[in-house]
Structure 1
Amino acid sequence: MTPLQHALDLAARGIATFPMTAGKAPLAGSHAVKDASTDPARLAELFAHPRATLVAIATGTPSGVSVLDVDRQHGGLSWWESNRHRLPSTWAWRTRRGGLHVAMRHRQSLRTVELDKIGKGIEIRSTGASAIYWPCTGLPILCADAPAAWPEWLLPPPKAAWTPPAATPWAGDDHRARAYGMAALRRAVERMAIAAPGTRNATLNRETFGLLRLTSTGGLHAGEIAEAMAHAAIAAGLDRREIEATLRSALSARRAA
């Protein structure tokens, strides 16, 4: 079977895929996991690239399966031998370097976990990540059973909540500018807290950039703007990494304006 045929076979089972090169790199000009699809016409277009050698599964929400990656080179087989009896019979295949990819049904609470965080040589691939479907290169499927439920004991603990650092209290003397600034800040926080999915980063950037104009009047200072907008972004569902990156971008853009 060609890589495209494997991708089409997976698509028929609701598994979204995208192509990678033989070196496990995204194709030049591609958007990697964001390109993943189950549409036959789209897959034919993606896999028409001459370097489309490997089939990568978009794990998590796009495909409904997450993957337990047992990395042989980092000692994952020891963990596997100790814990395999606790795992259900489920879809699994051999990897190029002698490890395992064990696919189970995705759970909304399941997040990607980096190598060695839950066990030596073990990684969890969930939404936003991917896993190579090595049978597309001739490596064996070790178990063809339907993906089983992800076991409770293998759920990673939730990330610790993040609280933005407190800003220095305002110490200006222009109370009219202060009242105007605080009113603008309240409105911006309200808009951020109810921003719809897909618009949250842009809303955070836009509202923060707009508020930073008021630092020149003395009504607000950058620290309190960042603190308030970060709390609103947390309420909207953004994580720390997204919030910090967006706030840095807004602050940099304002300084350059």
Structure 2
Amino acid sequence: MATTDRQATTLALAHALSAAERGLAVIPLSRTKLPALRSPHRDAPEPAGPPCHGECGRFGHGVYDASTDPVRIRELFAAAPWATGYGIACGLPPHHLIGVDLDTKSGTDSSAALRELALRHLFTIPETVVVLTPSGGRHLWLTGPPDVVVPNSASRLAPGIDIRGAGGYLVGPGSRTAHGVYATAPGTAHLAPALCPPALLRLLLPPPRPAHPAAPPTGDHGRGLVQFVLTAHEGQRNTRLFWAACRAYENGLGPALLDPLVEAAVHTGLSEHEARATIASAARMTGQGNQGGAWGDYGV
């Protein structure tokens, strides 16, 4: 490895350890801004059930590897000596970080779009940590309530404004990428992430779901499978969802019951990501192919 790369890795580790001291969970990143460690399951057959989030004990699970423990962070970087940056996981305690990415590559003035939203919805962006990106963009660091899950989104709020929430990460200041170095904006390095204004927080959240999923147009059997998932308790939610999805695909109801089963699973406390991954595994198990889809980690 070139000396400059070793220096970049050493600096990235130092910055990551400093961030961890502030309560920010981190992972090593490559020059492409992606997690530096590849999944240990990449060459293994797709397992039945939800994807592994680190339960196997190995590294390579993206934001699920993120930690504030200096010993674990050093182990992560030792396993990825090519890392030149670090990612900060969003949505985790104690900060419950929300990243507002004001992009410049879309050809739109994302800063102006944010100002327009602030005027229209009567909120002000408080003084907070601002990270400058090599492309000229900015990342605003905000914090959310501990009982609110802010999802990741791309240009949903406005063109050029991406949001990083639970399951996402921000490239940390001091990281070196293929396009340059991320740096804290002057005068903001000493600040703590500010509270997200309530009016902005409401814009970041998905519309509320109905109290109960609508009954699927698939007869009593379909309604029974959805009800079976709805009555699941913690510890049996994935198992019940997987069983119900298998029965649905075996009886030719898989496509019709996909959304009702996802809604039922979310109602019991699973994330939509977990629900769709579990249903996709059921589809594969019953020979119906990858019907449910899967999403990767999100980072900026």
TM superposition score category, shorter chain reference: 0.7 to 0.9
> Counterpart of 1:173?
none
Deviation at 1:204, TM superposition (A): 1.4
**TM-score (structure 2 length as normaliser):** 0.66
Residues 46-98 of structure 1: CA deviation (Å, up to 9, x unaligned) = 11222111110001125521111111112223325655992100111101211
| Aligned mates of 2:279, 2:240 — CA distance in 1 | 11
> Counterpart of 1:218?
none
Deviation at 1:140, TM superposition (A): 3.2
Q: 1:139 to 1:128 in 2, by over 3 A?
A: closer
Counterpart of 1:23, as a letter, is: T
| Aligned mates of 1:165, 1:186 — CA distance in 2 | 8
> Counterpart of 2:81?
50
Match of 1:204 among 209, 228, 241: 241
> Counterpart of 2:69?
39
Residues 179-233 of structure 1: CA deviation (Å, up to 9, x unaligned) = xxx9x9699447x52133xx63344114543x56996xxxxx7469878855642
> Counterpart of 2:11?
2
Match of 2:156 among 96, 117, 125: 117
Map of 1:92-111 to 2, 5 A cutoff?
92-107=130-145, 108-111=147-150
| Aligned mates of 1:164, 1:246 — CA distance in 2 | 21
| Aligned mates of 2:275, 2:149 — CA distance in 1 | 21
**Greater relative contact order: 1 or 2 (C-alpha under 8 angstroms, separation 6 or more)?**
2
1:167 maps onto 2:217 in alignment = yes
Counterpart of 1:115, as a letter, is: A
Counterpart of 2:197, as a letter, is: P
Residues 119-139 of structure 1: CA deviation (Å, up to 9, x unaligned) = 121111111001101333454
More displaced, 114-123 or 231-240?
Answer: 231-240
| Aligned mates of 1:213, 1:65 — CA distance in 2 | 39
**TM-score (structure 1 length as normaliser):** 0.76
| Aligned mates of 1:247, 1:22 — CA distance in 2 | 34
1:78 maps onto 2:119 in alignment = no
More displaced, 29-38 or 101-110?
Answer: 101-110
Q: 1:250 to 1:9 in 2, by over 3 A?
A: same
Match of 1:152 among 198, 208, 216: 198
Q: Which segments of 5 or more consecutive residues in structure 2 lack a partner in the other structure?
A: 1-9, 39-59, 289-300
Q: Which has the larger radius of gyration?
A: 1
Q: State the SS of the aligned residue for 2:157.
A: coil
Q: State the SS of the aligned residue for 1:68.
A: strand
| RMSD of aligned alpha carbons | 3.5
| Aligned mates of 1:214, 1:71 — CA distance in 2 | 46
Counterpart of 1:253, as a letter, is: M
| Aligned mates of 1:118, 1:229 — CA distance in 2 | 28
Q: Which segments of 5 or more consecutive residues in structure 1 lack a partner in the other structure?
A: 171-177, 216-220
Counterpart of 1:91, as a letter, is: V
Q: State the SS of the aligned residue for 1:93.
A: strand
1:237 maps onto 2:276 in alignment = no
